[in-house]
Amino acid sequence: MTKKQLTYNEAVLEIERILIEIENNDIELDLLTEKVNRVAFLLETCKNKLTQTEEQIEKIFEKNL
């Protein structure tokens, strides 16, 4: 079975949900490290998607100029 790749918006929404949980003290201490690691992964995913999009747009502009 293939894993569904997260979209940028899905990653941002998950980050927001986790941050709200942390702000509201809704996360058990035992799960805090796991959640922080997940946010780090999601942030890296977002960064990569933004970089890929920027590179694709630059290529499009270069071809059309």
> pLDDT band at residue 49, thresholds of 50, 70 and 90?
very high
Query: The whole model's pTM is what?
Result: 0.83
User: Residue ranges of the domains in the chain?
Assistant: 29-65
1-43 confidence digits (pLDDT tens): 557 889 999 999 999 999 999 999 988 988 999 999 999 999 9
Q: Looking at residues 47-61, what average pLDDT do you find?
A: 95
Say what the pLDDT of residue 1 is: 54
Q: What is the DSSP string of 3-64?
A: PPPPPHHHHHHHHHHHHHHHHTT-S-HHHHHHHHHHHHHHHHHHHHHHHHHHHHHHHHHHHH
Say what the pLDDT of residue 64 is: 79
